[in-house]
Chain A
């Protein structure tokens, strides 16, 4: 059977995503795909237009499907060529440029356009927006706004919804005075209630945006030389020479109407995302109306695209979309907001739980119905957002004590201000450095935190007080602490970021730590930077570099963790915490024979033989006959596991098997910081997978949630959900890809918990999951090469890397 013809009208986020989902289900073998788009570009991330406007990203950064993607997937793309007609009887479509193609299946993903209110003077004679007036919907709109903003003094944004406020933020960065004109009673009515809207307004006004509420715009003022202002129904005016219209969106559903499909607010679809009139016409995204609802956010669109793909490819003809619950998390003008569901109680039994602290801009309001969350607004402090959004989405019962919905009860008391802190208060507990000592150091001339840490040793122990030291240095410098440029480097001794450093190492073919210093640091060898560089060389060159042992920290020379008496600990590999009785016996025999002073279980579900002198290491390793557990360095450490499915009555996934596969695959892989992993067979999380650098949690149906950036050491943080995968193999692939990206972009000793926060989950997701930069294959390949180059370091016990590696010089008697 030949391939069927799939024609897609619309090349935005919905159309492109739906095609991606189709391709992911083997669609390339089933369909010849043709796509039509209005805009002359590949698909880009419309949500990020606000970043383009405020200058934090370039247009190229937000492209999700570059033109190559279409070519590589055999898709014929007609970009900049809107479809004008659909002939359902003949099953053909025709574009404005005269392209005429037939289809077996049609997908309409025309999205929506900005709603332009009928206001006098808004459009010119040709019906187009006049010069100086812009919608905020496309890259071209953005270009126009940016160009105009350069010469503009005062800008007005019509519309105080989410998008309008994003536009206002962007305009401020271009140096304009900005007005927000809103017809409603308060800002962001879709997501916020009155009090929250009022608080947002004061936050925005504090940043210099003037907010005008209850204003119905009646005219754009000005003449052919340009616009000069806006007039309102109440007789008032505002001066401006640039106008951005963000007064809502309208679905592009006309094309459906013209070809006889049922259109209400948008094209009406069934649960398979097909038009209710024609089984060969699918509709997805903002132009689709499902069960009476039209969605304007991106999350429902992902769900719709999946259902559509399952259905059209025949993978699952029963796949059905049941509608989405809307929850959003965003940052408006620096104010963090999370909103879900309804904004006001609608039934008598609805229970409202709220907290307001206007001075700090904190507002929390939840609407509970029958013990379940049906609406919520968090502003200022959104630390509970992840939990609440999950409870909202999954409809889970809430704890009786409603207070715990708003706050983490039992958390440490609010810390005292820097000013209130007494001089003798100890800031660094590892090295006993007080607030006064830091003050004295600044008084003595230190102008940045790095200089203070070097001079006082504060922050050089476990490092958990570094943030506080930074704040204190800034405090003592009167808010004018200098930034130490080295905080952006991979290691302080080489002035390059991780990616730049890797590029320079490859470009100059540098294969030893000393040559890196020679070429990239003017020959100055910084001892504290050596171990980091040795580690990075291994990441870049796999096995193919000059291993200068003196650059390694002792743990990496002896393949064990040095103890305070100079002996070492020996931890053999034990994936998922599982070993055989035979291995257990050998461990016991070795401990007896070598008189090992302490045998202890580690936190990573292994057995630690503590107190082995250097000279005994080769013998101990050999007689154990088990591979190294890598319990010493900056590398993959271990993967804990719970019992999983074989024996546990709650288990949803085989966590032990997954942990074993993970350990066998990633053992010993070098990385900028330790990587501690865990797999949990169900969300009860017995193995603590939520607080690991990488954790996998089974949720049933062979599905695993993959979390990254968790920590439960000096710093405690729950990991962020990276994605949900459908098999062990997929889990291994995603983990490997994330690890490699981390290896190539993190700073030395930067653990995933701070790395994920610095880089941002959205960016990591786009690279690791969506492959937005097209580097996924290369990352996969690179981690595979590192895996292939792995050699058990304990084999050095039999073939030492340097003479006398494991012996003293001479046992002299003096």
Chain B
């Protein structure tokens, strides 16, 4: 599952406004590819990461956000939001999704259904 999702053709879909997410918080987008956690950091940067910690599948969206990282609520792994990779002594990657903000609206890039298999 460690494929580079961002290099595949994507379709951009609106998933809501930045203001819908509390600062240093996250919300979940349910997709056919599984849950995707959309994070808003304290300085309003937005990231999208698969909502599964590479360690034990913990819901990263429920973790404490600090700088551009999140601490998994289950066993405190720290995941870098830009790369989806575990930091510190741990190894693994959650996988990221392309995301951009236009006029305060969050656009999430998802693989085209045809490429999803």
A and B form one complex = yes
Per the bound structure, the CA–CA distance linking A280 and B56 in Å amounts to: 77
| Residue A812 lies at the interface, judged by CB distance under 8 Å to chain B | yes
| Residue B6 lies at the interface, judged by CB distance under 8 Å to chain A | no
Per the bound structure, the CA–CA distance linking A552 and B20 in Å amounts to: 19
Per the bound structure, the CA–CA distance linking A460 and B32 in Å amounts to: 35
Choice from A456, A528, A554, A808 contacting B30 with Cβ under 8 Å = A808
Instruction: Knowing A527-B66, A550-B42, A554-B62, say if A813 contacts B32 (CB, 8 Å).
Output: yes
CB proximity to A under 8 Å, residues B66-98: 66, 69, 71, 73-76, 88-90
* Residues of the B chain whose Cβ atoms lie less than 8 Å from the Cβ of A525: 66
* Residues of the B chain whose Cβ atoms lie less than 8 Å from the Cβ of A558: 62
Across the interface, do A812 and B57 meet the contact criterion of CB distance under 8 Å?
Answer: no
Number of interface residues of B (CB under 8 A): 43
Choice from A456, A554, A808 contacting B89 with Cβ under 8 Å = A456
* Residues of the B chain whose Cβ atoms lie less than 8 Å from the Cβ of A550: 22-25, 42, 64-65
Across the interface, do A804 and B27 meet the contact criterion of CB distance under 8 Å?
Answer: yes
Across the interface, do B57 and A562 meet the contact criterion of CB distance under 8 Å?
Answer: no
| Residue B101 lies at the interface, judged by CB distance under 8 Å to chain A | no
Select from chain A the residue with minimum beta-carbon distance to B90: A457
* Residues of the A chain whose Cβ atoms lie less than 8 Å from the Cβ of B59: 562, 565-566
Instruction: Knowing A456-B89, A564-B56, A802-B22, say if A814 contacts B63 (CB, 8 Å).
Output: no
| Residue B49 lies at the interface, judged by CB distance under 8 Å to chain A | no
* Residues of the A chain whose Cβ atoms lie less than 8 Å from the Cβ of B28: 808-809
* Residues of the A chain whose Cβ atoms lie less than 8 Å from the Cβ of B75: 461
Per the bound structure, the CA–CA distance linking A263 and B26 in Å amounts to: 82
Across the interface, do B21 and A809 meet the contact criterion of CB distance under 8 Å?
Answer: yes
* Residues of the A chain whose Cβ atoms lie less than 8 Å from the Cβ of B90: 457
Choice from A461, A553, A809 contacting B20 with Cβ under 8 Å = A809
Q: Mark A198-223, 1 if CB is under 8 A from B, else 0.
A: 00000000000000000000000000
Per the bound structure, the CA–CA distance linking A460 and B30 in Å amounts to: 32
Select from chain A the residue with minimum beta-carbon distance to B60: A566
Main secondary structure of the interface of A (DSSP, over half): loop
Choice from A530, A564, A810, A812 contacting B74 with Cβ under 8 Å = A564
Select from chain A the residue with minimum beta-carbon distance to B24: A550
Across the interface, do B24 and A455 meet the contact criterion of CB distance under 8 Å?
Answer: no
| Residue B99 lies at the interface, judged by CB distance under 8 Å to chain A | no
* Residues of the B chain whose Cβ atoms lie less than 8 Å from the Cβ of A807: 27
Nearest Cβ on chain A to B9's Cβ, whole angstroms: 13
Per the bound structure, the CA–CA distance linking A550 and B65 in Å amounts to: 7
* Residues of the A chain whose Cβ atoms lie less than 8 Å from the Cβ of B21: 804, 809
| Residue B16 lies at the interface, judged by CB distance under 8 Å to chain A | yes
Across the interface, do B15 and A812 meet the contact criterion of CB distance under 8 Å?
Answer: yes
Select from chain B the residue with minimum beta-carbon distance to A803: B20
Choice from B20, B32, B73, B108 contacting A554 with Cβ under 8 Å = B73
Nearest Cβ on chain A to B23's Cβ, whole angstroms: 7
Across the interface, do B13 and A814 meet the contact criterion of CB distance under 8 Å?
Answer: yes
Across the interface, do B64 and A808 meet the contact criterion of CB distance under 8 Å?
Answer: no
Across the interface, do B66 and A812 meet the contact criterion of CB distance under 8 Å?
Answer: no
| Residue A760 lies at the interface, judged by CB distance under 8 Å to chain B | no
Choice from A527, A804, A812 contacting B108 with Cβ under 8 Å = A812
Nearest Cβ on chain A to B107's Cβ, whole angstroms: 11
| Residue A585 lies at the interface, judged by CB distance under 8 Å to chain B | no
Across the interface, do A566 and B29 meet the contact criterion of CB distance under 8 Å?
Answer: no
| Residue A811 lies at the interface, judged by CB distance under 8 Å to chain B | yes
* Residues of the B chain whose Cβ atoms lie less than 8 Å from the Cβ of A527: 64, 66, 69, 71
Across the interface, do B29 and A553 meet the contact criterion of CB distance under 8 Å?
Answer: no
Across the interface, do B89 and A549 meet the contact criterion of CB distance under 8 Å?
Answer: no
Select from chain B the residue with minimum beta-carbon distance to A555: B73
Across the interface, do B33 and A814 meet the contact criterion of CB distance under 8 Å?
Answer: yes
CB proximity to B under 8 Å, residues A786-811: 802-804, 807-811
| Residue A322 lies at the interface, judged by CB distance under 8 Å to chain B | no
* Residues of the A chain whose Cβ atoms lie less than 8 Å from the Cβ of B76: 460, 528
Nearest Cβ on chain A to B76's Cβ, whole angstroms: 6
Nearest Cβ on chain B to A667's Cβ, whole angstroms: 24
Nearest Cβ on chain A to B68's Cβ, whole angstroms: 12
Q: Mark A521-540, 1 if CB is under 8 A from B, else 0.
A: 00001011011000000000
Select from chain B the residue with minimum beta-carbon distance to A562: B73
* Residues of the B chain whose Cβ atoms lie less than 8 Å from the Cβ of A810: 15-16, 29
Per the bound structure, the CA–CA distance linking A813 and B13 in Å amounts to: 9
Q: Mark A544-565, 1 if CB is under 8 A from B, else 0.
A: 0000011111110010001011
Per the bound structure, the CA–CA distance linking A809 and B62 in Å amounts to: 13
| Residue A150 lies at the interface, judged by CB distance under 8 Å to chain B | no
| Residue A454 lies at the interface, judged by CB distance under 8 Å to chain B | yes
Across the interface, do A809 and B38 meet the contact criterion of CB distance under 8 Å?
Answer: yes
Across the interface, do A564 and B57 meet the contact criterion of CB distance under 8 Å?
Answer: yes
Q: Mark B18-62, 1 if CB is under 8 A from A, else 0.
A: 001111110111111100001000100000000100001111011
Across the interface, do B58 and A804 meet the contact criterion of CB distance under 8 Å?
Answer: no
Nearest Cβ on chain B to A659's Cβ, whole angstroms: 31
Per the bound structure, the CA–CA distance linking A532 and B34 in Å amounts to: 33
Select from chain A the residue with minimum beta-carbon distance to B52: A566
Instruction: Knowing A808-B27, A809-B29, say if A562 contacts B16 (CB, 8 Å).
Output: no
Across the interface, do B16 and A566 meet the contact criterion of CB distance under 8 Å?
Answer: no
Choice from B16, B31, B65, B71 contacting A814 with Cβ under 8 Å = B31
Per the bound structure, the CA–CA distance linking A812 and B28 in Å amounts to: 10
Nearest Cβ on chain B to A531's Cβ, whole angstroms: 8
Per the bound structure, the CA–CA distance linking A177 and B93 in Å amounts to: 64
Best-buried of B51, B69, B88 by chain A (most CB within 10 Å)? B88
Per the bound structure, the CA–CA distance linking A562 and B64 in Å amounts to: 13
Instruction: Knowing A562-B62, A808-B30, A810-B15, say if A549 contacts B20 (CB, 8 Å).
Output: no
* Residues of the B chain whose Cβ atoms lie less than 8 Å from the Cβ of A531: 64
Instruction: Knowing A550-B42, A814-B31, say if A564 contacts B23 (CB, 8 Å).
Output: no
Nearest Cβ on chain B to A504's Cβ, whole angstroms: 22
Select from chain B the residue with minimum beta-carbon distance to A558: B62
Select from chain A the residue with minimum beta-carbon distance to B27: A809
Select from chain B the residue with minimum beta-carbon distance to A514: B42
Instruction: Knowing A549-B25, A812-B30, A814-B31, say if A804 contacts B89 (CB, 8 Å).
Output: no
Nearest Cβ on chain A to B73's Cβ, whole angstroms: 5
Across the interface, do A554 and B15 meet the contact criterion of CB distance under 8 Å?
Answer: no
Across the interface, do B88 and A455 meet the contact criterion of CB distance under 8 Å?
Answer: yes
Across the interface, do B63 and A554 meet the contact criterion of CB distance under 8 Å?
Answer: yes
Per the bound structure, the CA–CA distance linking A527 and B69 in Å amounts to: 10
Per the bound structure, the CA–CA distance linking A456 and B24 in Å amounts to: 27
* Residues of the B chain whose Cβ atoms lie less than 8 Å from the Cβ of A454: 88
* Residues of the A chain whose Cβ atoms lie less than 8 Å from the Cβ of B23: 550
Per the bound structure, the CA–CA distance linking A84 and B15 in Å amounts to: 92
Per the bound structure, the CA–CA distance linking A461 and B57 in Å amounts to: 17
* Residues of the B chain whose Cβ atoms lie less than 8 Å from the Cβ of A804: 20-21, 27
* Residues of the A chain whose Cβ atoms lie less than 8 Å from the Cβ of B62: 554, 558, 562, 566
CB proximity to B under 8 Å, residues A421-445: none
Select from chain B the residue with minimum beta-carbon distance to A808: B28
Across the interface, do B22 and A803 meet the contact criterion of CB distance under 8 Å?
Answer: yes
Best-buried of A555, A812, A813 by chain B (most CB within 10 Å)? A812
Choice from B15, B33, B111, B113 contacting A809 with Cβ under 8 Å = B15
Across the interface, do B71 and A812 meet the contact criterion of CB distance under 8 Å?
Answer: no
Best-buried of A456, A566, A812, A814 by chain B (most CB within 10 Å)? A814
Contacts A457-B89, A814-B13 known; 15 new A-B pairs at CB < 8 A = A454-B88, A527-B71, A549-B25, A550-B24, A553-B73, A562-B59, A562-B73, A562-B74, A564-B57, A566-B58, A804-B27, A808-B29, A809-B15, A809-B20, A814-B11
Query: Shortest 4 CB-CB distances between A and B: which pairs?
Result: A566-B59, A809-B27, A814-B110, A550-B24
Can you list 9 pairs linking A and B with CB atoms under 8 Å apart? A455-B89, A554-B62, A558-B62, A566-B59, A566-B62, A804-B27, A809-B38, A814-B31, A814-B110
Give A contacts to B, CB under 8 Å. Answer: 454-457, 460-461, 525, 527-528, 530-531, 549-555, 558, 562, 564-566, 802-804, 807-814
